[in-house]
Amino acid sequence: MKFSTYLEQIMGVSIYPIISLLLFVVFFVLTTLWVYSIDKKTLEEIEKLPMED
């Protein structure tokens, strides 16, 4: 039940923040592209949903 000491050390740990940053940038760009691919009619339909009742 002890969590540490399975590995002695972690090689090139400085790459971790870079990997995470890249992951996010790619994710963000894809999301943005995806969002702009929505056709306007669908969008208008959805954004009016709270007004319907």
Partner 1 sequence: MDKFYYDNRIARMFAFACITWGVVGMLLGVIAAFQLAFPALNFSEYFPHLAFGRLRPVHTNAVIFAFVGNGIFTAVYYAIPRLLKTPMWSKALGRIHFWGWQTIIVLAAVTLLSGFTTGKEYAELEWPIDILITLIWVIFGINMFGTILTRRERHLYVAIWFFIASWVTVAMLHIVNSLEIPVTLFKSYSMYAGVQDALVQWWYGHNAVAFFLTTPYLGLMYYFLPKAAERPVYSYRLSIVHFWSLIFLYIWAGPHHLLYTALPEWAQSLGTVFSIMLILPSWGGMLNGLFTLRGAWDKVRADPVLKFFVVAVTCYGMSTFEGPMLSLKNVNAISHYSDWTIAHVHIGALGWNGFLTFGMMYWLIPKLFKTQLYSRPLAATHFWIGTLGIILYAIPMYWSAFRTYFMLSSFTPEGQLQYQFMDVVQTVIPFYILRAIGGTIYLCGVFVMIYNLVKTAQSGEFVAEEEAQAAPLAKNYVAPAGSIWHSFIERKPILLLVLSLIVVGLGGIIELIPTFLIKQNVPTIASVKPYTPLELQGRDIYVREGCYNCHSQMIRPFRYEVTRYGEYSKAGEFVYDHPFQWGSKRTGPDLARIGGKYGDSWHFNHMLDPTSMAPGSIMPSYPSLFENSIDKVTTRSKIHAMRQLGVPYPDGYEAIADQDLDKQAKSITDKLKTENKIEIASDKEIIALIAYLQRLGKDIKAEAPKLSNQ
**Nearest partner of 27 among 37, 19, 39, judged by Cα:** 19
Residue 19 carries which side chain, given as an amino acid letter? I
Helix or strand (DSSP H, E) at 20: helix 15-36
Least distance from partner 1 to the Cβ atom of residue 49, Å: 4
Q: Tell me if 26 contacts partner 1 by CB under 8 A.
A: no
Q: Residues 3-22 vs partner 1: string with x where CB under 8 A?
A: xxxxxxxx--xx-xx-xxx-
Q: Tokens 């994710």 map to which residue?
A: 27
By CB under 8 A, name the binding residues for partner 1.
Answer: 1-10, 13-14, 16-17, 19-21, 23-24, 27-28, 31-32, 34-39, 41-53
